[in-house]
Chain A
């Protein structure tokens, strides 16, 4: 991992009490912004990233040299147009792109914190990012937007700060992690921890990296982001650079080669301990439990407008789970719109070029921005 590239960072001096009971202070939050904040400070959109995302939403990611993870959605003349909106995205705490996480160097030991890092939750991530918004002196965001784990952060943000966003768009997410979600995350964690180079999380002390374990974790997770139909159409039983089976364990099939590739590029940009901590945070997420089993209570104090989006072929965060959010909001008369977008690209649909998603999202954000601004005048 190239850690030498300058990332925009802010040191949060306010102490933050984590759900696990520990208090952190003077910790870094790495972030990136796009576009300009207008003079009324009314055009700010906070984007939350998913499990393996980072602050580089759009443009070139300076670390990977690839396009930002949400380039289809955010950028100039994109659905979230950075000529119009001021887009902020922060690396979550627990992450490995400059925010306080297990790969942060401890001042006292001069070594990476490793698994001495405290367990963090979605709630902690959101509270940390709220500190960033305060530092940027933005009183009220126009919108909070995110997919997958980003969507969970959207829900938590509105629950925690009911009057800090006018619009909330949780995409392809859930209000509580299901047994299936936890199971897949556990599979990934076990793959990492089974790698002998993991060294109980202190691999950096030995100049090691549990790359094999992390790659397997990524391969397994990657399958859950796709759909059966998508996989079948793209790969089928097609062979990789060969005309016939080789009767061995090399990557005979294209799908094998593809997954191996996905695993191998992932370990270059992601920290294994971060993977453990962030998946744990997702597993612990249960917003209704935070409100004594009543999800509606999470949103009782808010006037924020909601727009919930799901995808037909997403079996990781299926429409039924997104609908539960809509039902909870409807039952308290909240202002909520909902659509399930037709796509065979699985959970990953929100990251990809899915025209009806991009159009609906963009049109909705732009017309709502117009309506809200007109009302204020």
Chain B
């Protein structure tokens, strides 16, 4: 978690306007508030988590990214962050499009379904993978649209979304993803972090 926060924080310029979509209990928001910028908002679907954020004095709105991002004006944030949430939406493509409208730049992080530990579980055990990063069983997972680093990379090029930076994370090891190492990083990383722009 900490590594992911550091990477995201390093992608953000100081004193910019940030929106954290699916901000949960506001841990990333707090981290960025202390390290990067005071001007940060959150959007979260769970009442309980929204209340936790508000209790900490964080500016968070209860809402659903799939329907409520529309209310923000175009390019109203310098950065919009979607941390490990894309796979939980009914329509991830729509959400990405909304994010790209609201934010000048968008940071998306993806739990990589192409990670070898995940692949091995399906290959050898023959069951849906359950890992540290993907702790749910198939019958109770909130994750509707799992994808791999390669899937998201390809998605961006198909949809003409510019990738400014793509970073792979394995445990605490950080590396850049590029076209030539894509297959390897897709196998060897548990998390992908993308800085994109429309």
Chain A contacts to B: CB under 8 angstroms: 305, 307, 326-327, 330-333, 335-342, 356, 359-360, 363-364, 367-368, 370-371, 375
Contact = CB atoms under 8 A, between A and B. Distances in A.
B57 A364 contact: yes
Given A339-B54, A367-B56, A333 B47 contact: no
Nearest to A312: B47
A332 B76 CA distance: 9
Given A336-B61, A337-B60, A339-B62, A363 B73 contact: no
Contact of B55 (A330, A331, A333, A359): A359
B59 A337 contact: yes
Nearest to B73: A331
16 contacts: A307-B54, A326-B61, A326-B71, A332-B73, A335-B59, A336-B61, A337-B58, A338-B63, A341-B51, A342-B47, A360-B51, A363-B55, A363-B56, A363-B57, A368-B57, A375-B38
A340 B63 CA distance: 10
A360 B61 contact: no
A340 B47 contact: yes
B54 A364 contact: yes
B72 interface: yes
A77 B57 CA distance: 19
Interface in B52-80: 53-63, 71-73, 76
A235 to B, nearest CB: 28
Contacts of A330: 61, 71-72
Most buried by A among B55, B56, B60: B55
B60 to A, nearest CB: 5
A339 B61 CA distance: 6
A333 B73 contact: yes
B50 interface: yes
A340 B47 CA distance: 7
B95 to A, nearest CB: 17
Contacts of B54: 307, 337, 339, 360, 363-364
Given A327-B71, A333-B73, A333-B76, A340 B51 contact: no
Interface in B26-48: 38, 41, 47
Given A330-B61, A339-B47, A342-B47, A364 B72 contact: no
Interface string B134-178: 000000000000000000000000000000000000000000000
| Cβ-closest 9 pairs across A and B | A367-B57, A363-B55, A327-B71, A338-B61, A360-B51, A337-B59, A330-B71, A339-B50, A364-B54
Contacts of B73: 331-333
A374 to B, nearest CB: 10
Contacts of B55: 359-360, 363-364, 367
Nearest to A342: B47
A375 B38 CA distance: 10
Nearest to A370: B57
A326 B61 CA distance: 8
Nearest to B44: A339
Most A CB contacts (10 A, CB to CB) among B38, B51, B57 go to B57
A333 B19 CA distance: 11
Nearest to B49: A339
Best-buried of A332, A333, A339, A368 by chain B (most CB within 10 Å): A339
A359 B63 CA distance: 20
A17 B19 CA distance: 43
B50 A371 contact: no
Nearest to A364: B54
A154 to B, nearest CB: 17
Contacts of B72: 330-331, 333
Contacts of B63: 338
A363 B73 CA distance: 30
Contacts of B62: 338-340
A157 to B, nearest CB: 20
A330 B14 CA distance: 22
For B41, B50, B61, B76, which residue has the most chain A Cβ atoms within 10 angstroms?
B61
Contacts of B71: 326-327, 330-331
Contacts of A342: 47
Contacts of A364: 54-55, 57
Contacts of A340: 47, 62
Contacts of B57: 363-364, 367-368, 370-371
Contacts of B50: 338-339
Nearest to A328: B71
A360 B59 CA distance: 12
Contacts of B61: 326, 330, 336-338
Contacts of B60: 337-339
A371 B63 CA distance: 24
